[in-house]
Amino acid sequence: MDRQDEGARMTTARRTERDVLQELTAEEQQLLKRVLEIERAKLHVKAADLTDELLSSVKAILP
């Protein structure tokens, strides 16, 4: 966690998206991908409340 925070704050310019992804656990990678899929699908609905859908995804990954 500390390593990632440090990365986010200090070495953003040098690090790549791939680096960030590789440092995540399988569950984290899965959730991140799912979250972006949900958000991408609802981009056109500005007022969408996606809390329930996102929560379900978390629970699906960590039942």
Q: Sign of the C-alpha dihedral, residues 29, 60, 56, 6?
A: negative
Residues in binding contact with another protein, number by CB under 8 A: 39
CB of 32 to another protein, least distance (A): 5
> In angstroms, how far is CA 55 from the centroid of its own chain?
13
Provide the token pair at 33: 């991908």
Q: Write the single-letter amino acid at 43.
A: L
> Should residue 13 be labelled a site residue for another protein when binding is judged by CB under 8 A?
yes
> Should residue 45 be labelled a site residue for another protein when binding is judged by CB under 8 A?
yes
Cα separation, 4 vs 37, whole angstroms: 23
> Should residue 18 be labelled a site residue for another protein when binding is judged by CB under 8 A?
yes
Binding site for another protein (CB under 8 A): 1, 4-5, 7-8, 12-13, 15-18, 20-21, 23-25, 27-28, 31-33, 35-37, 39-45, 50-51, 54-55, 58-59, 61-62
